[in-house]
Amino acid sequence: MLTILPVRGLPDIGKGDNLAKMIVTKFGDEGQKIQQGDIIVIAQKVVSKAEGRVISLTKVKPSPFAKAIAVEAGKDPRHVELILRESKKIIRMGKGHLITETKHGFICANAGIDMSNVGRNSDIVTLLPLDPDKSAAKIRTDIRREAGQDVPVIVTDTFGRAWRVGHVNFAIGVSGMKPIKDYRGTRDMYRYVLHVTEIAVADELASAAELVMNKADKIPVAVVRGYRFRRGIGTARDLIRPEELDLFR
């Protein structure tokens, strides 16, 4: 049976905080222990805070280009400047939206820079971790030390989708599991050979965990229990479609 358990009671996270120790402690306070086979799903926001990927807009000087885009997009030019700094290229711009390719290769709004759930200071924003896969690997190592269990870790962020209304959580960092379940070469229930089916299980787990990680409830971590994942080396980069195979860019 698949179970998703919220990790409640985590305090506001600051630079240098040991997320793994906090997760294990707070999960224990609820009478739970991390078990073999669990998957730890963590919101990017707290990972970025722990890694010091937080900046005040008061310290950002926008370029003339950022100012010009800000006028067209109706955004704070300092915010736009940070988006440009964190991006490899602009993919789409219009109707108040700025879709970019981040330096990680993610296609998302505003290079993943977020102004929500950061703090009471409205000038503070969070940037994505420099290397979310590395972040997931470190937290996994720390959890193994704290809990004595080697469990996969998924770092998530909330992205929009080009063809559907609403946002969902995606995996932007993965450690300890294969993020894709490949059905190619297998047969379906009618014995038809599958040629293209690959299921992004890390994204599905990220979205499922979000059901208990409500934005306003201060629950940035969930434990997924009961899913039979495939162990192995895998990263969130495995989920990024190469540009030469992308029909929509």
**Among candidate residues 125, 143, 164, the one where a domain is terminated:** 125
Give yes or no for residue 44 having a pLDDT over 90: yes
Residue 198, pLDDT score: 81
Spatial distance between the Cα atoms of 180 and 199, rounded to a whole number of angstroms: 6
Percent of the chain residues past pLDDT 90, beyond the cut:
76
Task: Give the pLDDT confidence score for residue 162 in this predicted structure.
Answer: 83
> What are 135-194's pLDDT values in tens digits?
999 999 999 999 999 999 999 999 988 889 999 999 999 999 999 986 666 666 667 665
3-state DSSP assignment of residue 55 = strand
> Are both 28 and 65 inside the same structural domain?
no
Q: Is residue 249 part of a domain?
A: no
Q: Say what the pLDDT of residue 225 is.
A: 97
Ramachandran area for residue 59 (φ above 0: left; ψ -120 to 50: alpha; else beta): alpha
Q: How many domains does the chain have?
A: 2
Helix (H) or strand (E) run with residue 223 in it:
strand 221-225
222 shares a domain with 159? yes
Query: Which range, of 188-197, 198-207, 220-229, 240-249, averages the lowest pLDDT?
Result: 188-197
Spacing of C-alpha 246 from chain mean position: 21
CB 172 within 8 A of CB 104: yes
The Cβ of residue 67 has, within 10 Å, a number of other Cβ atoms equal to 13
Q: Full-prediction pTM beyond 0.85?
A: yes
Residue showing tokens 């030390």: 145
pLDDT band at 70 (very low <50, low <70, confident <90, very high): very high
Q: Are residues 36 and 63 in the same domain?
A: no
Q: Can you give the length of the chain in residues?
A: 249
